[in-house]
Chains A and B, each alone.
Chain A
Amino acid sequence: DAKTTQPTSMDCAEGRAANLPCNHSTISGNEYVYWYRQIHSQGPQYIIHGLKNNETNEMASLIITEDRKSSTLILPHATLRDTAVYYCIVLRNDMRFGAGTRLTVKP
């Protein structure tokens, strides 16, 4: 498996940008990077994914380094409802979850 490494936890002030890093140094050239989040007692929610280029949607932006060994998920204006566990996943045949980053957005 292409292992990912994420900080265990992060805090962010409400209204500020939340930048969540992920290392995936063993990623292969055709493997996508996916980000999901899980709010307590719910199923994972898709956020964004990318291959090489930076991506942006209504929820977040994904910045992938040129060597593809790391990426950063950016929530531009974090709200209290963004408090969740965020998972960075490198997709091979299936999605395997690491420990993720517990993001706490504080007022």
Chain B
Amino acid sequence: GAVVSQHPSWVICKSGTSVKIECRSLDFQATTMFWYRQFPKQSLMLMATSNEGSKATYEQGVEKDKFLINHASLTLSTLTVTSAHPEDSSFYICSARDLSGRGGEQFFGPGTRLTVL
């Protein structure tokens, strides 16, 4: 089946630093990738949608200058959390859409747990 990987699986950083999270579709091409954030005991919240070769579309309330998204190839999207603060600590999950599948289903990565000290 379609596999999406994320790296790193967890990261701890100091407040004020930037952190980059990678999302890769391993066995299919994904023209669209999605980034979600999940706080403890809450559901996944869509942050942004990225299309290969174009600027990401951010959901209302998500700061595009703080959460930089690059989707440079059909198999890789990156999320950079700039000047991270403790309130950015969360579980970040990406997904990729396989257009060859029925209904345009999305496949999800295993998530990256970010802890900002």
Chain A interface (Cβ < 8 Å from any Cβ of B): 32, 34, 36, 38, 41-46, 49, 51, 87, 91, 93-100
Contacts and interface: CB of A to CB of B under 8 A. Distances in A.
Contacts of A41: 91, 111, 113
Contacts of B36: 97
30 contacts: A32-B102, A34-B103, A34-B105, A36-B108, A38-B44, A41-B91, A41-B111, A42-B110, A43-B4, A43-B6, A43-B108, A44-B93, A44-B95, A45-B108, A46-B107, A49-B102, A49-B105, A51-B103, A91-B103, A91-B104, A93-B49, A94-B46, A94-B49, A94-B106, A95-B34, A95-B46, A97-B36, A97-B45, A99-B43, A100-B43
Contacts, number: 54
Contacts of B34: 94-95
Interface of B: 4, 6, 34, 36, 43-46, 49, 91, 93, 95, 102-111, 113
Main secondary structure of the interface of A (DSSP, over half): loop
Nearest to A44: B108
A89 to B, nearest CB: 9
A62 to B, nearest CB: 13
B39 to A, nearest CB: 13
A94 B111 CA distance: 18
Contacts of B46: 94-97
B95 A95 contact: yes
B13 to A, nearest CB: 19
A49 to B, nearest CB: 6
A96 B45 CA distance: 7
Contacts of A46: 105, 107-108
A26 to B, nearest CB: 18
A65 B3 CA distance: 31
